[in-house]
Structures are given as C-alpha cells and as structure tokens.
Structure 1
C-alpha cells in the first residue's frame, strides 16, 4: 500500500496535480502569514495560568486601574550633576509628554513635591532625576511602544544629559524593538546558512533551490494556518513562538529533504524511470521521515500539559507547523524533483546503472574502528559524555535579572541601573495588593519595614475592595525585589486570607513557579511518548530504551557544556526557569531524529545481513546525509544567537550543541557501538532477535520490482 501511495503521488500526471494543489494552498494561506504578528499576545500576564495569584489579582484590579495602564519612567543622568536649567527642562518635558496619546499621571520632581507624594525624584548626589507617567495604548501597546519610545526620546533630548526610558513601558519598548523586523532578518540569515550547507552537501548549484523553496512554502502555509487558529480558536501565539517556529520549520524541513533526496539519488541508479525511482525512494524514506515528524509533533503537543500559557501555546503552534512541513515535504518536494528530472543533480548526475559512490570513506572507517572493540568504545564515550554533563551545575535557573535579559545595552536596563545605583525608587513597577476594604489599613501596616520595599501609599478603596501599593527600591527582577515580594505575600496572607499580591515582580515570580512545575511534569511525559513511538517504529523494546538513554545523556551533556559556555564565554550564568524544558523538548524530539534515520536503516539491513553487518552498512550509507542534516539543524538554531535576547542566544547555543553531539558522537559512535556489542539482542523481543540475522522475517522486496501504481 505504501508503494502504491508513493507511486500515485509521483506519477507522470499526478505530480502536476500535487504541484498545483500545494501551491494553491500556499497562495491562499500565505497571504495571511504576514498578519501573524497582529494576533500575537506578548503581555506577561497572558503567559500565566488562571490559578496563579497574580492572575487572580489582575481579575480584580480593573476597579482601580485599567489593566492596560503601563507605568513608565524617564531617567535623566548627568555625571557632573543636573543643573537648574536641566531640571527646569524636565518640568517642561512633562507638558510635551502629556500631549502624547494615551499618556496620563505625569509626575516630575516639582509636581511630586507639590502633591506630597513620598519618595525622591532627584537623587541625593544630584546626578539623576526621573519623570514618571502612565501610558495606555490598549491591546496594541506591544506593537506601538517602540514608536512611543522614539517620540519620547526626541521630546526629552537635553544638552549635556543622558536620557533613558525605563520602567514597565521602557522594558516593553525594548522587548518589542528587539523583535521588530527581526523575523525577516532571522529568516534571511537562516536561509543563507542552510543554502551554504546544501551547496557543500549536494555539490550542485541548482539542487539546493528545491528543498529551500519547499521549506519556505511549508513555513508560509504554517504561518497562515496559525493566524486563523490564533484569531478564531484562541491559540496563544507570541514572539517567542514565532521565531522558534521559523528556525524549526526550515531546519526540520531541510532535514527531511536531505533524507529523501539521498534515497532518491540511490534509486535513480537502480531505475531508469525517474517516477519509479521516486516511488521507491518515497516508499523507503517516508516511514523514517514520518516517525521523525511524529516524534517532534508528539513531543511538542506534550507541552499542552504546561501550566504556563506561553509554553502551552508554543507546543501546539509548532506541532501544527511541523505537521504541515512533513506533508509539504513528502508531496511538493517529490513532485518538483520528478518534474525537473535528473539534470537537477548537475554536475554529478546519477545515471541509471552507475555505481553509487560510496561515502565509505570516512564513515565506513569509523564503523570498522568501532567494530574492533565496541564495548570499550561505548563505555568510554558514555563516560566522557557523563563527565561533561556535570557542567549543568553551573546553570542558575533562579531567573534572569534585568541586566542579563539582552545581549546589548538597552535603555530600560541602563535606566534601571541608574535608579538603583543612585537610590531612587522605581515607582513604575510597584507591588500591588488587592484586599477587602476592612483589612486595607492592616495590610498597609504589614507592608512596612520590609527590606527592598518603599513606604506603602494610602489604600485606594472602591466599594468593598481596596488596593495598597508600595514601590520597590531596586531592580524589579533582582533577587532582593523577589525576596521583598515573597515577604509581602507572607505578611499580607496572615492579615487577610483573601489578599492577592501582583505587580511586575510578582508576575515574574509566578511565571518562575509555573515553569519549575512544568519542568517536573512534562519532561517525563515527553520521554514516555517518544519511547512509545520508537517501540512502534522499531517493533522492539530494548533498542528504544537504549536510544532514549543515549538521548538523555546527550541532553545532559549539551546542558553541561552550555553551563560552561554561558558562564565562562558569554558571561550570562543565569537562565530562564523554563530553559531546561525548552532545551529538553527540542533536543529529545529533534535529536532522536538521527537515531530514527540510522536505526530504521539498520533494521532494514538486518533482515538481509544481520544486526552487526547491518549496523556497519547503515552507518556507511547514512553517515553523509545524517551529518549534513545535523549541520543544517544546528546552523538554523545557532542563528537564534544573532537575536539581541539572552534567552534566544542560550537556547540556540544549547540546541545547536546538542544536535551536533547527537549527529557526530551519539548516533555515529555510541549507538553504533551498542549495536555492534549487543548484536541481535537489541531487537528483543521482536522476531529479529531470533536467529541472529533475522532470517525469520521476509526479505526486502526486490529492487527491480515495478511499483504497482506505475504498472
């Protein structure tokens, strides 16, 4: 049946039908791909589960303020001290800023003093002053804040003074600016890296165009489909989801293309009719590609069990993208290849009846070297990987402070550092406590005398509910601020069981707590899901267990090396609490690909040659294409390091390292050594385990047999 389907997809007539259908779908959905940015939800509050304390508090805060209100601070700095003229300029700026759409509650040093608002607006040394205001641009604030920030910077330019935009508004502006226009640049850089690798792999100036074109079509269809799912089905899409999807689709899609093209090239030497050759190639390669895609899809869907909405949304969004990519790669790419004909491989055209140039070279020699002492090889290799994994303890998963969020200096971070260093409170990100009106005064008293927290303001009462606010004295993401918020929660909960604490820092803490829970719950679920897929694919139990073990070891080693790189090379030893989960899901789901590509070929060769000989043939036959696929995927994820966000740098580095480990060491050395050492035992308890060479299974179909669909 598989060969009949493959034959029908690549027949002389049906290839044109497939081409038209896919391109029409691409044209229809592709026009909505550019609108995906319009349905993104990058608000921090939207990432939280409904059960989080901050979420429950935000549901009640509407009575006191618009939930879209965003506190923003303009920080002025003059190392020689701010002059009277410069302080007067700050007062004038207030009037100009008030004219900006959505701005309210502008406070300057003079206005704050006149209103009797506690807290200083000019530092004791006279070098730093601040101007606070609230901005509300509704749901479009993420998109509009970079423009607002540019307008404010122009209005507040002052001779001899450095001006920075900080607070929640400044942070949002910097985050949005980091993603602004970067999708296109990231896609271009990724494509250039993949094209370079494909040129080297294929040694053809033409062939690389087809995989790249197909991958881009898959990406366009995926983005268009996700636009509708986000707009009408409530799927959460944010900037993080979109930039990961881009590199994932291009990387995984190109991997699938490499495997299919390699098998097609083999079959062109065995079959004169290119349609027949493609039918056999698709029949042989599709199960491995399907298993690979299914592993990634299932691994990503496991993220739906996450409490964190951003993580739960990232899973199904990218799972849809991978499923679409698989379908496009096994339909459009085969159609394009048979339409173009053999010449697309120029100058190394695979002629009918010619010998397949063996990649024996390197990978055959590696296999023969391992075959001499396989047990010693896998024991030593596993030992070295385990030692390298110890670097994991260099990772600090307590959260990323403000000064490590970006890989370059940005206004919000510099402004926050100036406020902290010069003893000024950041009133734009206060701690907010929602409680009943009767306990408001008691809650305010409980919030006094806490290290890192300023004096609480008078409670605001609306009906039976009250809100008490207090400014943080330091960076809202610093450990001291988190400790202060934790103490606020302990104290106010003792005063009132119904008191709820929220604010920028509290939101961050609840995200951290949800991330830690997700790490403990989802990782085991992913492992079980991937194991079941491998058992179904290989029809054995021991081999899947060994493969899962090698991937876990590879993951640990990737984290270990990353811990050393982050600390000693990058200088960013803090990582997001959700970092281990993201790294795990992508490395296990993607890293197992190469083991799937290898082991499906081992199983195929075992039927005829036995496990040990089949392992050497499989390594020699797949070595080149799997290495190329690994380099492509590593290169695509490494492109994330070009983003100005530390999280992107870290996740890109770790996945690239893990993929290279899986490709070069785990798949080629460790798994092959285990195969050679255990022999037919790896297929336990399937029939391949009986009789050594697997003589009880029917042999492969003769290569010269005509595909039924083409007869």
Structure 2
C-alpha cells in the first residue's frame, strides 16, 4: 500500500471520524491500565543487577540457605559532642527495644543501634513505612542529643520517595514547557492544543502497554525509566507533530481542500517520520543486549513509547487537524494562494553564506566541536547513592556523621558466603585485607553446609574505595574456597559497574550500526550515511564535554555510569531525527534541482521546523532537572545541551557544508550521484519557499 493510500485514511472526509472514534475508545481503555504503572515499578537490586552477578547469586544463596536472607540494617545514630549522658544511653536502649534492634554500641561521643530488616521488610514497598516509624520513635530525646535514622535502607527509602508523586508533576511541567514552545513557534493559541492532545493520548497508551508488559511479560520498570518515558514521548512526539504541521501548512497554501492538503502533507512527511521513529526504536531495542536489567528494561519501555507516539502522530493528529479545519491556525490562518510567490527565509542568508565556502564552514565547526570534547577529560564516573540527591536528605547527613565515629562501612556490612568446611581458610584469608575494619561473628546456614561472615569496611558501602575492597575480598576468598560468594551493597555496586562497562562496549557499537543501516536504506547511499554518522559521534563528544564543564560549575562533577550509555542513546537516536528530516528533503530537492542547489534549498525549507523541534526536545529533557536526583538532572542537561548543539551547529552548519563539499558523490552508489551533478554548478537560490510555521 502506498503512502498516498495510507494518508487518505486519517485525512478522508468520512474515515477521519472513524480514526478519532477509534482513538477515543483506545484512550478510554488505556486510561484504566495506565494508572497502574506505578504499581509495577521496582528499584530492587535483584531486579536491576545481572542474574549471574556474584552479589545476585549471594542474595539467592542467602534466601535459600539462611533463616534470614542477606541482612540489611537500619541504623540509629545518637551523638552528643560534649559527651553522652545517662539520659542519652537510656533513650538509645528504649528505642532499640521498641524497634527490636540490637543492643546499643557506644563509642566516644556516639551511640549506634542497628535494626536488622528481613527481606520482606527491606523490600522497596515496605521499607518506607519502617523508616518513618523509626524516625517517629527517635524523636523527643534529651535536649542537645542529635539523632539520625540512616544506613542503606534509609537512603534507599529517600531515593524511592524522590520518585513518588513526581509522575504527575513531571507530566504537568513537561506539558507546560511544550505548550510554551509551541505557542512561540505557531503564534496560535488554538493550534498548540492539538499536538498536546495527540501526545497525551500517546503517553496514556504507552503507560498502559508498559504496565501490562511489566505485569505479564516480565518487563523491568524502575522509577527512572518511567520518568524518562514521559519526557521522551513529549519530546519525540512533538517533533513529529512539528514536521507534519509544517508540511500541512505548506500544502494549505497550494490546495483549497484541507482533506487533500492533509493527504499530500502526510504522504510526504510520513516516510521521514516513520524512518526517524524506526531508527529510535531499533536503537532502543539494542539495549536488550545489556547485562544490567534496568538498562535492558529501559529499551522496550522507551520503544513502546516511541511506537505509541508514531501511531498517534500519523493517525490521530492528522485526523484532528482535518476535523478542526483551517481556523485552528488562527490568527495566522493559511489561505489558498496558488499564485503566492516564494518568500525569503531567515535561513536563506545562512545557506548562501555557507554554500560559498563549505569546506571552511565544516572544518571550522568540526574544530569547535572537537575542542568541546576536551571537557570529557574532567568528568569522573561512579556517583554513589549518598551523593545522588540534589539536596542532601537527613539520611545522607547521618551517614557522614557515622563516618566520624564508627567505621564508615558500618552502614551495610559486606557478607562473605563460604562452605562450612572451608571456614577456617576463608577467615584466615580475610585477615590481612586492607579496607576491612573488622570481621563479625560467623553464622551457620540452616543445614550447616554454609557459613556467612559479615565484614565491616573502612569506607562507605557505596564508595569507590569500598568496591575496590570488595574486589580484593573476592580474590582472597576464592583462593580459599572457589565456591565462595561476596554480597552486600558494596558488592552490588561493583557488579553494577562491571556490567555497565561491559554494556558500553557492546551496546554503543550496535546502536551506531543500527543508525548507519537505517540511513543507508533511507537515503539509498553509503557515503552520506557514513559522513552523518561521524557527525553524530562528534556531536555526542562535544555535548558530553560541554555538560561536564556545566556539572563542575553547578557543583556535581561526578556522574552516574548510566549517563554515558543513556546519554549516547538519546542523543544519537533522537539527534538522527534532524538528520533524517534534513537529508530526506535534500534527496528530494537534489533530484529536482541538482546537488549544489538541492542541499541548500533543503536546509532553507526545513531549517525552521528543525530549529523548533530541537527547542522542544531540549526543553522537554531539561524538565528532568526538576527531579531531586542528580543522575536524572545530569541526563536532562546532557541531552538538552546535545540537542541544541545538534540543532544549531551540526544540522545547520556542519552537515550541509560537509555534504556540499563532498559533492554529488555523497549519494553514491545511487543514481542520484549522477543526477545530482546536473546542477552542481548552479547558483544558490536567493529566495526559497517559506517555512510556514
């Protein structure tokens, strides 16, 4: 079926009503399910770590062989700098008894109470109320006594709480930002609501699909991927809407009947929209090759979102626009003016200037982008959980205070599991390891076959020093017992780092290959796609370097390991949208006017829509900065900076100049490489068709 026939369905005089009615029914059903997406979110370590990681296998062993699974502890810390009093000690004992905690441990001016949690209590949906109960219990102590509820479970509860009630806030803020950009773009108070309605429908359908897939298909969904889904849909969906509306407005000037105008606009813009979304979906699905369950889960979650956005933008959006008629563009209503002469574009001067000396333009631009990549050298990775908050919660401040009085690793012991008959050898091997503060009392398994030895580390469990110590512990105990396992938060952090580094090596090349193949198929060429891919990589490096400098300026220089992979994914997959918008039009114009005229003409007529789309995408991802989590803020900043560079530098200057300098052979091996040379020496048009938006 041709694009003309497909486009005739949502733009038909009768079929448009069927499309709208069908969407109303789908939205009604999806709304019921979409609200349950919060119920399927999980941030439990077992769900985001690889199943074969040592710490994951330690969790399984603990659950299988011990009465209590791999234990976690909530810590109550009492400090009086001037010296503890009898009332302070009495308060600590009372709290320990009320919370079924271990007896208080006094050291200098501090008292530590450890409250063990069962696997059920430490679960994501149960730990929050327990932390709140502990915080209520410790209040009302003697004057001058400072008290904290801290430890891994308390920090985790604060981390999970950062996502609670933020879905609606994120949705409203994102919608507001997009509405503002659309209002500035279209200068129409009515038109901005139509893309928002279509995007809102796509969000509802995507959330319903994700909720069903998580409940019945085993899809892993965490708070971060659920938040990214909303932002991604608004950004990508609005981009597709801008491309369609821009082409529709063009056709309304040429065609008196709005149905025919929409059919032509959709038929001509749909290939680029479909190719763009297909690229993003395929790149996202490359994440299924990741070891990290959370990373692997993000791919299908986001792919379902992009698919929903695509469906809404090529069916619901055109149908609603046709139903509304031309008045939706008020006050700048496009009139039928077949004799309307092309008007000058604000991009025409830029096009003309760049086309005169393309080599100077692309080489100068490339040097600037390469210089920005130098900022990557200042970036450090390995963001600990305790440093993951934009504003420091009480649980993190408690951890800082804990390190002043007790071994920092007291928050979450590292557990060594060994066969009981190798206990002596394993204990001896643990004795001389740097970074281990003390060995706890060994605990036998229910059947006596295994033993668990808790270790207190000198460094906080989520620090790089603790992870280095875990590596040394693993090497030592495996010599004493090859079957030994090491678990606990520090081991989980080490396994997460290892898996993420592996995913970067595997997934990034796959994403690049996917993007290259899609461009080759779309443009039916090899040279241009290779050049475009090189520009994408350079753009990402510049975005990462510029973002690193921004992070230093705002006081968050350390980034989470996931930023590299997620930032690369979104910048490459979404940035290629603008490449597709530009180069599909360039191919069309080159076939008509030759390469030297066609490429500048394509930039002139698409420059406006690409700029608007870039502003929308950058604005939507910058909304992630409202979340109180550092890694989400950093992802938002990185993608926003990258999209702006891509929009105003790469797609407006680097790519057109590079393709012009390469000449018609950019389209090799297609016949366009020969046809494009027909007008290779033709003049750059002084006047080009208007952007019409």
TM class, shorter-length = over 0.9
1:356 Cα deviation from its structure 2 partner: 6.9
Q: Cα–Cα, structure 1 residues 443 and 359, in superposed 2: closer, same or farther, change >3 Å?
A: farther
Q: Is the 8 A contact 1:638 1:653 kept in 2?
A: yes
Q: How does 1:115-514 map to 2 (within 5 A)?
A: 121-124=105-108, 126=109, 128-136=110-118, 138=120, 141-157=123-139, 158=141, 159-353=143-337, 360-397=344-381, 399-462=382-445, 463-514=448-499
Say whether the 8 Å CA contact 1:269–1:355 is kept in structure 2: no
1:329-359 deviation per Cα after TM superposition (whole angstroms, max 9, x unaligned):
1100001000000000000000111677978
Structure 1 residue aligned with 2:654:
670
- Answer yes or no: is the 8 Å Cα contact 1:193–1:635 preserved in 2: yes
Query: Which of 81, 103, 121 is matched with 1:108 structurally?
Result: 103
- Pairwise CA RMSD of aligned residues? 1.8
Unaligned runs of 5+ in 2: 680-693
Deviation of residue 365 (structure 1)? 1.2
Distance across 1 between alignment mates of 2:70 and 2:480: 29
Hey, what does 2:15 align to over in structure 1?
14
CA drift of 1:614 comes to: 1.2
Work out the CA distance in 2 between the residues paired with 1:187 and 1:67: 38
Q: Shift of residue 33 of structure 1?
A: 1.1
* CA distance in structure 2 between the partners assigned to 1:232 and 1:355 by the alignment: 58
> Scaled by the length of structure 1, what TM-score is found?
0.92
Partner residue of 1:103? none
Is the Cα contact below 8 Å between 2:68 and 2:119 reproduced in 1? no
CA deviation vs aligned residue, 1:595-647 (integer Å, no higher than 9, x gap): 11011111111111112211121111111111111011001111111111111
Q: CA 1:497–1:265 in 2, change beyond 3 Å: closer, same or farther? A: same
Q: Confirm or deny: 8 A CA contact 1:444 1:459 kept in the other structure.
A: no
Give 5+ residue unaligned stretches, structure 1: 99-105, 110-120, 696-711
Report 1:14-93 matches (<5 A): 14-62=15-63, 63-67=65-69, 69-93=71-95
Per-residue CA deviation, residues 62-104 of structure 1 (Å, 9 max, x unaligned), is 1224448532112223343433212211211223324xxxxxx
Check the 8 A contact 1:360/1:621 in 2, yes or no: no
> Secondary structure at the residue paired with 1:455?
strand
Deviation at 1:473, TM superposition (A): 2.8
- Cα distance, 1:421 vs. partner? 1.8
Conserved in 2, the CA contact under 8 Å of 1:278 and 1:338?
Answer: yes
Q: Is the 8 A contact 1:626 1:663 kept in 2?
A: yes
Distance 2:641 2:341 in 1: 30
Change (3 A) 1:307 1:333: same
TM-fit CA distance, 1:507: 0.4
Does structure 1 retain, via aligned residues, the 8 Å contact 2:595–2:664?
A: yes
How far does the alpha carbon of each residue in 1:272-299 deviate from its partner, in whole angstroms, 9 at most, with x for none? 1111110000001101000110111000
- Tell me which moved more, 329-338 or 59-68: 59-68
Query: How does the TM-score come out when normalised to structure 2?
Result: 0.94
In the alignment, which of 483, 498, 504 is matched to residue 519 of structure 1? 504
| Structure 2 CA distance for partners of 1:678 and 1:389, relative to 1, 3 Å | same
Work out the CA distance in 1 between the residues paired with 2:534 and 2:192: 35
Q: What is aligned with 2:598? A: 614
Distance of 1:307 and 1:423 partners within structure 2: 36
**Would you say 1:596 and 2:580 are equivalent positions?**
yes
Alpha carbons of structure 1 residues 447 and 200: separation in structure 2 relative to 1, 3 Å:
same
Q: 1:633 aligns with which of 617, 627, 637?
A: 617
Contact 2:386 2:462 in 1 (8 A): no
Q: Deviations over 1:521-540 (max 9, x none)?
A: 11111101110000111111
1:56/1:500 contact within 8 Å kept: yes
- In structure 2, the residue corresponding to 1:75 is in which secondary structure? strand
What is the rounded CA distance, in whole Å, between the counterparts of 1:254 and 1:163 in structure 2?
Answer: 49
Which residue in 2 is equivalent to 1:699?
none
| Number of aligned positions between the proteins | 674
Q: Which residue of 2 aligns with 1:698?
A: none
Indicate the larger mover: 57-66 or 681-690: 57-66
| 1:631–1:660 contact (8 Å) kept in structure 2 | yes
Identify which range, 354-363 or 138-147, moves more after superposition: 354-363
* 2:515 corresponds to 1:533: no
1:238, 1:690 → 2: CA distance? 51
